[in-house]
Amino acid sequence: MRLLPRSAFGQTVFLIGLLLLINQLVSYLSVAFYVIKPTTQQINHLIAKQIKVVFIDVGHPQSVLSEELTSRFQQATGIEVYNEQQALQQGLAQASYYGYFSDLMSRELGGPAEVRVAQGDTYAFWVRPPQAPQYWVKVPLTGLDETDFSPLTFYLLMIGVLSVGGGWLFARQLNRPLKSLQQAALQVGRGEFPPPLPEHKGSTEIIAVTKAFNYMARGIRQLEQDRALLMAGVSHDLRTPLTRIRLASEMMHEQDSWIRDGIINDIEDMNAIIDQFIDYLRHHKEEPGQKESLNTLVQELVQAEHLQQRHISTHLASDLPEITLRRIAIKRLLNNLLENALRYSEGDIEISTGFERNRKRVYLQIRDHGPGIPEHQMKAMFEPFTQGDIARGSGGSGLGLAIIKKIVDMHHGDITLHNHAFGGLVVTVYLPVK
């Protein structure tokens, strides 16, 4: 079981709370040793002096105090003297014995003394002096019964709450730039480039990291732009001679039609590969998102593929909610998945959708009845230029699943591959509802 929080925010608040607790304990011990202890010793010393005054005329322990003397002393000071029986009737039985005060009083009075403290409506010290053990002296403490300690308790509680609250605000303010940095890093990882982060918030270390991140993001954006420009130039330069070759092949003699058809097929394959390169670089970043149902896109896809000499069965969930998605990008994703299923299998194609309510996400699943993919190659299939013919015996540019993965990442979703128990590959795409 982990006691310490894992986040920097939680650790900061925990550290402040721990330091506050240590501070409170040190403050309590300091007050106890340097304020309360000297005060109690002083009170005990004053009470001992008063008791000495009461018994100043007592020559030996068996002496008897005069009632007139004790009455006048009580009127003057409020200190009362009782024998054992009278003391029990006046509240001695309800008083609690205090060994610490008894030891102090014994040293002050020069003999064994017993001290009890009554804590009722009024506070009082009951002392059995060594000068007259048959008597009990009741010394009222009128100041304590009027003292209200609730403001002190409230003050200490408020100090703790305000300290923890202040630490929480401080940690929150300190970690806010880190949260923004995390979100921006995730966007850059998905191929999106957010505006530069503010470079004046947070501590000097966070500001330095933010500046470095902005510099890195600018470099990645420039690299992305250069790569797209290079790909656009290459595709343009390649399409021009390909067009000329196709025009020249069309003018070939009929007896050379087999050569012409081969050239045309090669040109179409090259154009398709160039289109995949461009799609991989672009992947519809500028397309705005809109509310759409996956069922609608699947139905459009199946209708567009009705000319295929293959049976495509659909199992679409009736409770599928609409989600925010880029329509053209998702249609390209569906087309690529269906093309792969048609290319690498011979049997029927099964397309199904569903809604995982507890995880708040919808899913699209396409299953073919082909040979599948070896388990150890599945993770590498989403990498660019990974050739599908290694796994399933057919040519390709190696960008189909990489483009699909980029589109899924752009929608904050997930994609998985697994081989069906009865043969064929199952591709599942998960997209969040929110």
**Three-state DSSP class for 317?**
coil
> Which is more confidently placed, 332 or 280?
332
CA–CA separation, 419 and 368 (whole Å): 10
Q: How many domains does the chain have?
A: 3
Same domain, 395 and 277: no
- At 11-30, the pLDDT tens digits run 777 777 777 778 777 777 77
* CA 290 – CA 279 distance, rounded (Å): 20
- Contact criterion met (CB below 8 Å) for 70 and 81: yes
Domain contains 373 = yes
**pLDDT of the residue at 61:** 44
Q: 235-244 pLDDT, tens per residue?
A: 777 777 888 8
Q: First and final CA of the chain: distance in angstroms?
A: 33
Domain boundary among 131, 147, 163: 147
Express as a percent the part of the chain with pLDDT over 70: 82
Tally the C-alpha atoms within 13 A of residue 311's C-alpha that lie toward its C-beta: 4
Residue matched to tokens 């609690």: 96
Q: What is the pLDDT of residues 109-123, one digit of tens each?
A: 888 888 888 876 677
Shared domain for 82 and 163, answered yes or no, is: no
Rounded to two decimals, the pTM is 0.50
Is residue 58's pLDDT more than 70? no
Indicate the residue among 229, 263, 282 that finishes a domain.
282
Domain match, 55 and 133 both? yes
Checking if the pLDDT of 134 tops 90, the result is no
Q: Give me the sign of the Cα torsion angle 120, 129, 53, 101.
A: negative
Please check whether residue 87 lies inside any domain of the structure.
yes
Of 147, 171, 204, the domain-final residue? 147
**Residue 336 lies in domain:** 290-432
Q: Which residue has the higher pLDDT, 65 or 4?
A: 4
Using pLDDT thresholds of 50, 70 and 90, give the confidence band for residue 78. confident
Let me know if residue 1 belongs to a domain: no
Domain holding 172: CATH number?
A: 1.10.287.130
pLDDT computed for residue 149 by the predictor: 53
List pLDDT tens digits, range 182-229: 888 888 877 778 888 888 877 777 888 889 989 998 888 888 777 777
- Give the Cα separation of 349 and 334 in Å (integer): 13
- The 10s digit of each residue's pLDDT in 254-266 is 777 788 888 888 8
